Amino acid sequence: MEITRRLTDTVQAGPVSMGGRHPIVVQSMTNTRTEDAAATLAQIRRLAECGCEIARVAVPHLEAANSLAAIVKGSPIPVVADIHFDHRLALAALEAGVHKLRINPGNIGSAARVAEVVNAARQRGVPIRIGVNAGSLGRELLRKYGHPTPEALVESALSHVRILQDLDFHAIVISLKASDIPLTVAAYRQLAEQVPYPLHLGITEAGTAYAGTVTSAIGIGALLLDGIGATIRVSLTAPPEEEVRAGFAILKALGLRRRGPRFISCPSCGRTAVDLIGLANDIETALGGLPDPVVIAVMGCEVNGPGEAAEADIGLACGQKASLLFQKGKVVKKLANANLAEAFVAEVHAFLAARRLEESRP
């Protein structure tokens, strides 16, 4: 069953489109010092290799802003400058050619400064992401609502939106982040009813790789199931490449993106004759980095495996002495159980090479 996505405006970050009917974009943020352009670029390249489509970099001071031109020039994917308060940094980032700004117009200062930044963004065709965070809501809103509520987050976002709209600027993306899942989900749901702009989804301070992925999958997943969201960032206390893998895993689980393999494996049971956990992990490690969209199954028995994983493009059903290689539920070959992971990985590579050849034919 397909998810029906809410239609929003489309916003362009360089060549990457967010919103409308465009695929949901996976992004991440570097954790290098931005003033170290070489280290930041190396990390952006690693992120791009994992499929990351937009990279955000922190720009806390002028030294960081000064290395943006080199980063933008060398980056294989659009670069977003993350700026708080200082309009001079925003202007420097735009001058350096960044593809998107993350800045809250209500926090820049005087109306003249806001207009200067917004006009510079407009001239360069650069969108602005408004990022409201439950941890940094204004004092007035906290007094009005008592604590961060969905209404407070939405009101904060709309106040920034109004500033941009008053300047006739509409290339807007919005995020509303909190570490509390019900709060975040409720806030995004309310906001989605009120604005036509693409929404950037994330659960902030989600935690380390395992806990953070679970938390993000629940929060981001709930919103994606509602058809909400144009771009996602899974925030993890982990190398940012993990954020990209988690982002695609969430989208693939919902059938919203098809980059790279999607793995299916059974939980194993009393019928399983091999070390299925070790085997599935070895196969996932060997094939997880492939860019090809392919569904790969690793099943614990010959009797039920091919049928239970009939949706897989290619799969393995393990038997006592030998195992069955199957494609779309049909057995095509037997593989010896000795060196099974290596043999199956070779079969997947051969299957993908044949498919690529087939697809390249006119």
The footprint of ligand SF4 (CB under 6 A) covers: 266-269, 271-272, 299-301, 304-305, 308
Residue nearest to ligand SF4 (CB): 300
User: Minimal distance in Å, beta carbon 2 to ligand SF4?
Assistant: 27
User: Minimal distance in Å, beta carbon 272 to ligand SF4?
Assistant: 4
Given the complex with ligand SF4, which of 132 and 266 has the nearer CB atom?
266
User: Minimal distance in Å, beta carbon 276 to ligand SF4?
Assistant: 7
Distance of CA 180 to the CA centre of its chain: 19
Find where tokens 């308060």 sit: 85
User: Minimal distance in Å, beta carbon 331 to ligand SF4?
Assistant: 14
Q: To the nearest 10°, the Cα dihedral for 158, 160, 162, 163?
A: 170
Sign of torsion over alpha carbons 193, 194, 197, 201: negative
Given the complex with ligand SF4, which of 21 and 330 has the nearer CB atom?
330
Given the complex with ligand SF4, which of 136 and 320 has the nearer CB atom?
320
User: Minimal distance in Å, beta carbon 321 to ligand SF4?
Assistant: 16
Tell me the backbone φ, ψ of residue 57, rounded to 5 degrees.
Answer: -125, 145
* Number of separate helices (H) and strands (E) present in the chain: 13, 15
Rounded to 5 degrees, what angle do the CA atoms 45, 128, 114 make?
A: 130
Given the complex with ligand SF4, which of 176 and 266 has the nearer CB atom?
266
Tell me the backbone φ, ψ of residue 310, rounded to 5 degrees.
Answer: -60, -25
In the beta sheet, which residues pair with residue 265? Answer: 298
Given the complex with ligand SF4, which of 273 and 343 has the nearer CB atom?
273
CB 136 within 8 A of CB 106: no
